């Protein structure tokens, strides 16, 4: 009996994965208010049910994780390349010029100019992995020899 339930659950899981991959190009707005645990409690098209025995803390942890992702406003931990970092009196003007110059040279790459007392900083790109950021940094190293990689909260990059 347990083997049958596990096999059924495994098949259900795989069918959900493959169905999700075919629909991956469309934005999924249902998931923000979707609770998978409530879905499994509902009877199927032929009245069949799945009975999952688990701790309530699992459901609370999954729902808390989904809520944190919803509140993150499309951000995740990743890497950026810092091309300017200074606190001189002319740092504000320099950071504006460098950000504008970079936008012209690399139009497809995001540029972020921030001020964190007392520093003006210009960081570029949204990279999921450090190796992506390293590859990009090597590409711009001729123009920006002082560039280095920083870990920051980034926007979800396009896949």
Q: What is the pLDDT of residues 95-119, one digit of tens each?
A: 999 999 999 999 989 999 999 999 9
Of 118, 84, 115, 116, residue with least CA distance to 98? 84
**pLDDT score of 63 more than 90:** no
Whether the bond between 21 and the residue before it is cis, its omega within 30 degrees of 0, is no
Q: Dihedral of CA 14/38/28/133: which sign?
A: negative
What is the band of 147 on the pLDDT scale with cuts at 50, 70, 90? very high
* pLDDT at residue number 140: 94
* The two structure tokens encoding residue 147: 């560039």
Give the domain-ending residue among 71, 96, 121. 71
- 55 with 122, same domain: the answer is no
Sequence-distant (6+) residues with CB within 8 A of 76 are: 128, 153, 154, 156
pTM for this predicted structure: 0.58
**How far is Cα 131 from Cα 143, in angstroms, rounded to an integer?**
20
Give 155 or 133, the one with higher predicted confidence. 133
pLDDT in tens, 64-91: 887 776 776 777 889 999 999 999 999 9
* pLDDT at residue number 2: 62
* pLDDT at residue number 24: 46
- 65 with 92, same domain: the answer is no
Give the domain-ending residue among 19, 49, 71. 71
Kindly report the number of other CB atoms within 10 A of residue 41's CB atom. Answer: 12
- 88 with 41, same domain: the answer is no
- 110 with 50, same domain: the answer is no
- 11 with 42, same domain: the answer is yes
Q: Where in the sequence is the domain holding 115, given as residue range(s)?
A: 75-155
- 36 with 52, same domain: the answer is yes
What is the band of 13 on the pLDDT scale with cuts at 50, 70, 90? low
């Amino acid at each position: 009996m347990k083997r049958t339930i596990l096999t059924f659950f495994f098949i259900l899981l795989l069918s959900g994965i493959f169905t999700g991959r075919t629909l991956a190009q469309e934005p999924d707005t249902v998931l923000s208010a979707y609770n998978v645990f409530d879905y499994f409690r509902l009877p199927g098209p032929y009245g069949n049910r799945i009975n999952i025995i688990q701790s309530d803390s699992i459901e609370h942890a999954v729902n808390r994780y989904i809520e944190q992702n919803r509140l993150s406003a499309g951000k995740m931990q990743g890497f950026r390349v810092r091309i300017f970092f200074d606190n001189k009196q002319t740092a504000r003007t320099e950071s504006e010029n460098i950000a504008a110059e970079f936008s012209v040279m690399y139009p497809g790459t995001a540029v972020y100019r921030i001020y964190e007392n007392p520093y003006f900083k210009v960081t570029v790109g949204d990279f999921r992995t450090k190796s992506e950021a390293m590859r990009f940094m090597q590409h711009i190293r001729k123009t920006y020899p002082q560039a280095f990689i920083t870990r920051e909260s980034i926007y979800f990059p396009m896949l």
